[in-house]
Amino acid sequence: MSNYHIKHLEEYYQVYRKSVRAPENFWEEVAEEHFLWQKKWDNVLSWDFSKPEVKWFEGAQLNITENCIDRHLATRGDKTAILFEPNDPKDDAEHITYNQLHQRVNQFANVLKDQGIKKGDRVCVYLPMIPELAIAVLACARIGAIHSVVFAGFSATALSTRINDSDCKMVITSDGSYRGAKTIDLKGIVDEALKECACVETVLVAKRIHSDIDMKSGRDKWLQPLLDTASTDCKAELMNAEDPLFILYTSGSTGQPKGMVHTTAGYMVYTAYSFKNAFQYKEDDVYWCTADIGWITGHSYIVYGPLANGATTIMFEGVPSYPDFGRFWEIVEKHKVNQFYTAPTAIRALAKQGLELVEKYDLSTLKVLGSVGEPINEEAWHWYNDNVGKKKSPIVDTWWQTETGGIMITPIPFVTPTKPTYATLPFIGIQPALMDENGKELKGNQVDGRLCIKFPWPSMARTIWGNHQRYKDTYFSAYENKYFTGDGALRDEVGYYRITGRVDDVIIVSGHNLGTAPIEDAINEHPAVAESAIVGFPHDVKGNALYGYVILKDVGETRVHDNLRKEINQIITEHIGPIAKLDKIQFTQGLPKTRSGKIMRRILRKIAHKDTSNLGDTSTLLNPEVVQDIMDNAL
Ligand code: WT7
């Protein structure tokens, strides 16, 4: 038996040891017993982190949609697969059964084929959280097209960069989207983006807000009429284990976003196995992850992981604050949610609202609470534990990344004793290492270092689309023979991990991973701006907010500064999206630089944190005099 479902702590340790001592045997057993293969593998794992190259289940053939849909039909055909909860609570929820999902995915897959999409083609999906989003993703997987979902909060420029980077032939979008009381003109954003994208031949448009939009003839097609006439049969394409399943972009510390490439078999096995255990999902449970499918959390733990387990997974279109801040709890009561998975930033925003909104609803069905995206602070942890979980639902603080594909460090609920702010123990098969400044592994407990992973796991990204060298440089060059996460962590006296935050130029704002360089590039496009530097500073809801130091070409008058601040945020919104707007913008004459011309962000960070007691030695700077000036004018 492969211990597919871990039930107590002794079993965790036993299975963990097995997964580390004989990883190939362990994952082979899991893969054998719990998935549908058209052909089994010749080799479980081959790897070489120096190239880097990792292959799991080589030689195997499968289709992930047969695992997520077809194989459930005999026993779960009438069970709800996707439960869609719309933006407006007055509108009806939609229960899509496994049978219906099968039909709809097949129809969509046939539409893709009719429109000339073939195995290996890239399809960009730019949709709000409506059923078509999950169905489009699965339809791509059905025919072996590589989906590249772009979060529908990204701007036209960000969208076009991502479309061009992976040469997408098609964009799937909608006429618009709802966001609380607002509507967003998604199709307008797509039109703007596509001015820059010669690769896109077809745009499929779902109707959501029924707005009057421009349809470019020959390029744009309404989705529904095509679906209506499409057959509900579509044979699943035979995919090799290592064929790409999807590309998902994440920010890096330099300009261009990184298109992380995830492949088929390993991703499926790991997301399914981790979903089952990290949430202790049982057959009739209703599971809800509040993330957007535009992020990895949604890919792995709204779509693939839950569906591979035959689960009922909720897709929520709306926002936590509409029509009021009780919306999440209303949904938990209405759909009798058993597992609830959200981000610390949402918890902090809800904790500010007063308890009446939580106490008004029956949350007694909740069994497991999850947290993801950034470190959860102690106060938020307790609020979540006391008021939502009523101290009886364990909190799983799950640490992982777009690059890791699945959850890496997490408690297993009812198995691992939790500890506030600790992601606790490595998940089965995961071998973390903490490294010191000199690149040596820190052994033993009570140590603090940079978090690496020293052995491959099935769902790790295999490359960056079109740039394997960057993949190697970013993740496999800092420490020999190890995957470097970019995070710092400490290990306590019992071996529990606590993630302390990014150690690179990535800032997590409201759980969104933002690189400083692309934001600075955007700001520098403003004609009045000479140079800029972005750092993070603590924010009570967002976790971190952005502080920008901006040098103007002409110093100008202070009274125009407020307008400039607006314009700078406007440019950021256009280039990246509203999530990257700056909370504070300080205009300055200079930025502290080293003699080699590198901006000393450490100093800027301290000033933004209002922690200037120990700035360290500034005398070696090229321009030490600017430091005092920046401090005097800090916001
Ligand atoms: C970065 C990855 C994985 C899905 C969402 C984010 C931070 C993520 C935690 C956690 C502390 C966390 C890390 C990581 N992070 N989860 N439970 N505790 N930090 O994916 O956008 O790729 O961001 O998010 O800094 O490196 P992502």
Protein residue with its CA nearest to atom 6 in ligand 1: 373
Average pLDDT for residues 247-264, to the nearest whole number? 89
pLDDT band for 62, please (50, 70, 90 cuts).
very high
Per-residue pLDDT band for 255 (boundaries 50, 70, 90) equals: low
Helix (H), strand (E) at residue 163: helix 156-165
Phi then psi dihedrals of residue 12, to 5 deg: -55, -50
pLDDT of residue 515: 86
pLDDT band at 253 (very low <50, low <70, confident <90, very high): low
For the segment 468-486, the average pLDDT, to the nearest whole number, is 97
Contact present, 568 and 550 (Cβ < 8 Å): yes
In this structure, what token pair is assigned to residue 518? 């692309």
Q: 575-613 in b/e burial notation, b at 16+ Cβ within 10 A?
A: bbbebbbbbebbbbebbbbeeeeebbbebbbbbbeeeee
What pLDDT sits at residue 558?
Answer: 62
pLDDT at 594: 78
Mean pLDDT of 264-272: 98
Which protein residue has the closest C-alpha to ligand 1 atom 19?
Answer: 374
CB 155 within 8 A of CB 149: no
- For the segment 204-221, the average pLDDT, to the nearest whole number, is 96
**pLDDT tens digits for range 120-160:** 999 999 999 999 999 999 999 999 999 999 999 999 999 99
For residue 291, report the distance from its CA to the centre of ligand 1, in Å: 13
CA–CA separation, 172 and 133 (whole Å): 9
Residues ≥6 apart with Cβ < 8 Å to 468: none
Q: List pLDDT tens digits, range 525-558.
A: 999 998 899 999 999 999 999 999 999 988 766 6
Amino acid 256: pLDDT: 85
Cα 399 to middle of ligand 1, angstroms: 6
The Cα-based distances of 499 to 397, 417, 420, 422 in angstroms read 10, 17, 12, 7
Bridge partners of 409? 399, 426
pLDDT at 342 over 70: yes
Residue 421 Cα to ligand 1 middle (Å): 13
Residue 2's pLDDT band (boundaries 50, 70, 90)? low
Q: How far does residue 138's CA lie from ligand 1's centre (Å)?
A: 25
| Atom 12, ligand 1: residue with shortest CA distance | 374
Atom of ligand 1 nearest to the CA of 512: 21
Q: Using CA atoms, how far apart are residues 56 and 47, in angstroms rounded to an integer?
A: 9
The beta-strand segments (E) located in 422-505 are 432-435, 441-442, 447-453, 463-464, 483-491, 497-502
CA of 410 from ligand 1 middle (Å) equals: 12
Kindly indicate the confidence band of residue 612, based on its pLDDT and cuts at 50, 70 and 90: confident
Which pLDDT score, from 0 to 100, does residue 408 have?
Answer: 98
The two tokens of residue 95 are 């229960």
Cα–Cα distances (Å) from 343 to 49, 188, 407, 609, in that order, read: 32, 30, 14, 23
Ligand 1 first shell, C-beta below 6 A: 250, 295-297, 371-375, 397-402, 423, 485-487, 499, 502, 508, 513
Question: Of the candidates 511, 509, 512, which has an alpha carbon nearest to the alpha carbon of residue 548?
Answer: 509
Residue 373 alpha carbon to ligand 1 centre in Å: 4
Q: What does pTM read for this prediction?
A: 0.92
Average pLDDT over residues 570-593: 93
